[in-house]
């Protein structure tokens, strides 16, 4: 009798797992929508790369010194300006910088990793919101391999324009200096998202203002990291204003 009950329970568990797997599996329509949106995104990135002009309006000397050193840096921008700052970093690949981006270990992340490879950018798999410790380990290892990982101070979920401590801790642990990237697009669509995300229009101009590389030494406590992050946020806001108000 007990054996029959155990067998029945095992069968129920197996059926429950199969039902959950079926619920998780995307439908044919969902797969089609995902494929179309992914191809559209890939085409959009190529269009921006081919049609948009990048102008460094301030801090060009800081970029020159960073490239001349041959050492990795930790570039930082606001999530709202992800596209112009990211494409600016991509342009540095041609000047010898090994640029990396943190990409989630999900199905969508698999697609973004392929896009990154197509643009000669290095994907660093991890999620700062779900597997923070593993993501930090992956980022630190990437810097040790000579990769400059792009960080977004308020990403991935905000609050908007509140610089978190992740980039500060990464710079402290890895020894790579922070490089603030203020970015502005001359023409863009604005999304009603938590950060009012900006989607640049093709054939626009990306204006970039860079801060002086900032080495972060050993951190004594979390409050010190938070104080540095607050200052980074103020400096990044100022650089974005410089980029936005630069003469055409």
| pLDDT digits 0-9 by tens, 101-135 | 998 887 778 888 888 888 999 999 887 666 678 88
Write down the pLDDT at residue 24. 65
Cα distances (Å, whole numbers) of residue 72 to 35, 173, 176, 179:
35, 13, 6, 10
Question: Higher pLDDT residue, 196 or 28?
Answer: 196
pLDDT band at 53 (very low <50, low <70, confident <90, very high): very high
C-alpha to C-alpha distance for 1 and 196, rounded to whole angstroms: 62
Give me the mean pLDDT over the 166-184 stretch.
97
Q: Of 110, 116, 162, whose CA–CA distance to 142 is shortest?
A: 116
Cα distances (Å, whole numbers) of residue 193 to 38, 61, 214:
20, 34, 30
Question: Higher pLDDT residue, 160 or 28?
Answer: 160
Write down the pLDDT at residue 21. 47
Phi, psi of 137 (to 5 degrees): -65, -40
E strand spans, 2-72: 53-58
């Amino acid at each position: 009798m007990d054996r029959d009950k155990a067998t029945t329970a095992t069968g129920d568990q197996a059926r429950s797992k199969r039902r959950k797997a079926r619920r998780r599996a995307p439908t044919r329509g969902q797969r089609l929508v995902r494929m179309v949106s992914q191809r559209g995104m890939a085409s959009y990135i190529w269009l921006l790369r081919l049609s948009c002009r990048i102008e460094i309006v301030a801090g060009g000397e800081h970029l020159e010194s960073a490239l001349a050193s041959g050492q990795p840096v930790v570039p930082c921008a606001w999530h709202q300006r992800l596209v112009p700052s990211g494409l600016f970093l991509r342009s540095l690949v041609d000047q010898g910088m090994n640029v990396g981006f943190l990409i989630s270990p999900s199905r969508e992340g698999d697609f973004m990793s392929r896009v990154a490879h197509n643009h000669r950018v290095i994907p660093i798999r991890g999620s700062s919101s779900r597997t923070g410790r593993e993501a930090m380990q992956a980022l630190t290892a990437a810097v040790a391999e000579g990769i400059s990982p792009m960080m977004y101070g308020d990403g991935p979920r905000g609050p908007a324009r509140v610089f978190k401590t992740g980039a500060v801790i990464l710079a402290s642990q890895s020894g790579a200096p922070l490089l603030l990237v203020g970015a502005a697009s001359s023409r863009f669509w604005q999304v009603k998202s938590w950060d009012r995300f900006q989607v640049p229009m093709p054939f626009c101009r990306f204006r970039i203002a860079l801060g002086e590389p900032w080495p972060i030494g050993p951190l004594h406590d979390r409050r010190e990291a938070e104080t540095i992050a607050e200052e980074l946020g103020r400096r990044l806001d100022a650089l974005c204003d410089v980029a936005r108000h630069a003469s055409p």
